[in-house]
Amino acid sequence: MSSSKRKFLIIGAGLSGVSVAIQLIRKGADVTLMDNGVNFSSYVAAGMINPLVFRRMTKSWRVDEFIPYLKKFYRGLETETNSSFFHEIPIRRMFSTEQERGFWLKKQEREDFEPYMNKMTEADYTFSGGKNPFGSGRVKETFYVEVLPFFEKVKKWISDRGKIVNSAFNSDDLSGTMYNGVEYDDIIFCQGYLNPTNEWFGSLPLDQTKGETLTIKSEQLPEDCSLNRKCFILPKGNHTFKIGSTYGWNDPTTHVTEDAKTEILNNLSYIIDETVEVIDHAAGIRPTTRDRRPLLGTHSEFRNYHIFNGLGAKGYMLAPLISSEFAEYLLEGNGLDKEVNITRYNSTIHSPKSK
């Protein structure tokens, strides 16, 4: 069968599922995307893209490849959908210590950090938009995706070229590659933190990392940049800001908690003293792996069952290029990066029930 006619059923229309669907459709495949309409990660996310890891002032994994690709990916979709959901936003890291400023000053001299770091100037020491005792550094190549408009537009893009089914996937209805009487060539599972419920890939080591955010109203915070220290602050217009997020390891529920609200507001106090009004509080669950790499590949026995998951806390940066590589793997037989391939965990995939 020619690759252009291959028929895929994708389960899950979060960021993973829609990215894979877009890439497969672009390569001429026949795509059906199924989702149960309950999303607690991609829709809750701030959608921020930051090339640096502040903790150690290092570059994020494969960032030199991810950033140019994602700019083309999101801007291309904006053009095709005649909309605007991908925005540049300067991120300013408010240093916590002199040592942290020292790390920045050292790294800013390096050629490989030049694309991502502005050299500090006097204005970075005197910046008064937040508490700035040790000065602050301005990151380059920083963006955010407005998540709800993004999903509205890309789902329309997909349904114009493929099929979207609003329904819950039930493994009892799958027999080989036949689902509810329709024959597919391949099934791709993109279920995010719900992967442990998956019959074939559920034993892969995927952690459910809860995250909570607040939306606040502030009269003091600047609206032209995102401040970062102990938490991120993303301006949303009209003096409203999304702030967060927490990392909860032992609570895979999707309800909001007072503890997280207190933690976020306490973190905010490292940036401003203002008593802010909280206008929204949301919770979601990131699908994370211990080695911080995505989980992609094909089942060892069921060779037409595949998984695309494990985007962790940086899905909006990783998804565009990783999904393109995944589509090349599926349709053109290109090898998968062994850092993301589930074969690194092969011994943990147990035999599922026979289909």
Ligand X SMILES: Cc1cc2nc3c(=O)[nH]c(=O)nc-3n(C[C@H](O)[C@H](O)[C@H](O)COP(=O)(O)OP(=O)(O)OC[C@H]3O[C@@H](n4cnc5c(N)ncnc54)[C@H](O)[C@@H]3O)c2cc1C
Q: Which residues bind ligand X (CB under 6 A)?
A: 11-17, 34-36, 38-39, 41-42, 44-48, 168-169, 190-194, 211, 213, 244-245, 284-287, 309, 311-317
Looking up tokens 């960021």 gives 15
**What long-range pairs does 102-105 form, CB within 8 A, spacing at least 24?**
103/56, 103/57, 104/57, 104/137
Nearest approach, Cβ of residue 36 and ligand X (Å)? 4
Rank residues 42 and 136 by Cβ distance to ligand X and give the closer one: 42
Residue nearest to ligand X (CB): 14
Rank residues 11 and 29 by Cβ distance to ligand X and give the closer one: 11
Rank residues 172 and 219 by Cβ distance to ligand X and give the closer one: 172
Classified as helix, coil or strand, 204 is coil
CA separation for the pair 241, 134 (Å, rounded)? 24
Chain centroid to Cα 264, Å, comes to: 20
Nearest approach, Cβ of residue 105 and ligand X (Å)? 27
Non-local (6+) Cβ contacts of 224 within 8 A are 90, 235
Structure tokens at 158: 């997909």
Q: Is the separation of the CB atoms in 77 and 157 below 8 Å? A: yes
Nearest approach, Cβ of residue 327 and ligand X (Å)? 16
Nearest approach, Cβ of residue 295 and ligand X (Å)? 10
Non-local (6+) Cβ contacts of 322 within 8 A are 19, 294, 296, 308, 311, 340
Rank residues 23 and 42 by Cβ distance to ligand X and give the closer one: 42
Rank residues 48 and 336 by Cβ distance to ligand X and give the closer one: 48
Nearest approach, Cβ of residue 85 and ligand X (Å)? 14
Rank residues 138 and 286 by Cβ distance to ligand X and give the closer one: 286
Nearest approach, Cβ of residue 245 and ligand X (Å)? 4
Residues 313, 315, 316, 321, CA torsion sign: positive
What Å distances lie between residue 56 and 15, 62, 102, 122, CA to CA? Answer: 28, 16, 11, 24
